[in-house]
């Protein structure tokens, strides 16, 4: 069974060939309740390398996930028609609606409200990370329906159930890991879309150790370089 570890903080080096593009930090911050239902507050922070002129990204995504690994609420900042908005996506399963609220960052009076039907199980750009973590030890292939940036898409994921080995910077040599791959048919966080593969630790936290994925500038490699509240048995 997948173990939610409050206080877990995983820091990744993001590379494009030999160039370090930036840093990605994935955290499980706390638990909160919506209508009496327990959710896990997760956070993703992306910061590009300040020395690079061709990429400038500083984004924070706060996703509240149910124990069944589906989203309840996502709060983030994003660009819509060249304007920056603070965005809120509420997945209301009782009403069968996704309630979307955009508020302008530079102009708080600029507000957009939308409602979309929620008549099937939908992942968001954050919850698919934890879905992969929880299921990477299984052997099955799935097509997941995804809702991101007010649009639906699909993600094909191959949970191979196989163990591979992968190199990480904090260990001298390779370590065993669950291996997955697949293809995203939508554009998500940092332009993620297209083919991907990932390696996860064998313990109950199933920590993502490294991954390769397609983003807006091409294929990038993520490698875990720091961690808190995880005790790998290496």
Q: Are 39 and 70 in contact (CB under 8 A)?
A: no
Q: What confidence category does residue 199 fall into, taking pLDDT thresholds of 50, 70 and 90? A: very high
**Domain extents for the chain?**
9-228
C-alpha to C-alpha distance for 221 and 130, rounded to whole angstroms: 19
Looking at domain 9-228, its CATH architecture is Beta Barrel (2.40)
Full-model pTM: 0.90
Angle at 94 between CA 93 and CA 97, to 5 degrees: 55
Q: Are 21 and 220 in contact (CB under 8 A)?
A: yes
The string of pLDDT tens digits covering residues 60-86 is 899 999 999 999 999 987 765 566 778
What is the pLDDT at residue 69? 95
Q: Are 45 and 60 in contact (CB under 8 A)?
A: yes
Q: Are 180 and 198 in contact (CB under 8 A)?
A: yes
Number of H helices, E strands in the chain: 1, 14
What is the pLDDT at residue 153? 92
Indicate the DSSP class of residue 189.
G
The string of pLDDT tens digits covering residues 94-111 is 999 999 999 988 888 889
Q: Which tokens sit at 209?
A: 């150790």
Q: Which tokens sit at 140?
A: 């099955």
Where helices occur in 31-165 by DSSP H, the ranges are 127-135
Indicate the DSSP class of residue 55.
-
The highest-confidence range among 91-95, 149-153, 188-192, by mean pLDDT, is: 91-95
The string of pLDDT tens digits covering residues 13-28 is 998 878 888 899 999 9
Average pLDDT of span 38-55: 81
Q: Euclidean distance between the first and final Cα of the chain, in Å?
A: 20
What is the pLDDT at residue 194? 80
* CA-wise closest residue to 42 among 126, 99, 113, 163: 126
């Amino acid at each position: 069974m997948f173990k939610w570890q409050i206080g877990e903080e995983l820091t990744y080096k993001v590379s494009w060939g030999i160039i370090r593009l930036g840093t990605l930090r994935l955290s499980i911050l706390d638990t909160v309740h919506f209508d009496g239902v327990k959710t896990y507050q997760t956070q993703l922070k992306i910061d590009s390398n300040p020395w690079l002129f061709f990429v400038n990204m500083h984004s924070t995504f706060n996703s509240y996930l149910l124990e069944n690994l589906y989203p309840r609420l996502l709060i983030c900042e994003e660009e819509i028609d060249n304007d920056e908005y603070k965005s809120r996506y509420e997945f209301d399963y009782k009403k069968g609606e996704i309630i979307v609220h955009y508020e302008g960052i530079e102009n708080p009076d600029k507000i957009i409200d939308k409602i979309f039907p929620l008549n099937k199980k939908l992942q968001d750009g954050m919850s698919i990370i934890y879905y992969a973590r929880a299921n990477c030890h299984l052997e099955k292939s799935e097509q997941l329906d995804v809702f991101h940036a007010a649009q639906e898409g699909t993600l094909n994921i191959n949970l191979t159930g196989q163990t591979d080995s992968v190199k990480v910077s904090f260990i001298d040599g390779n370590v065993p890991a669950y291996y997955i791959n697949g293809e995203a048919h939508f554009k998500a966080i940092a332009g993620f879309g297209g083919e991907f593969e990932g390696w996860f630790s064998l313990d109950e936290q199933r920590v993502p150790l490294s991954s390769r994925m397609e983003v807006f500038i091409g294929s990038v490699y993520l490698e875990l370089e720091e961690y808190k509240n995880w005790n790998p048995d290496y």
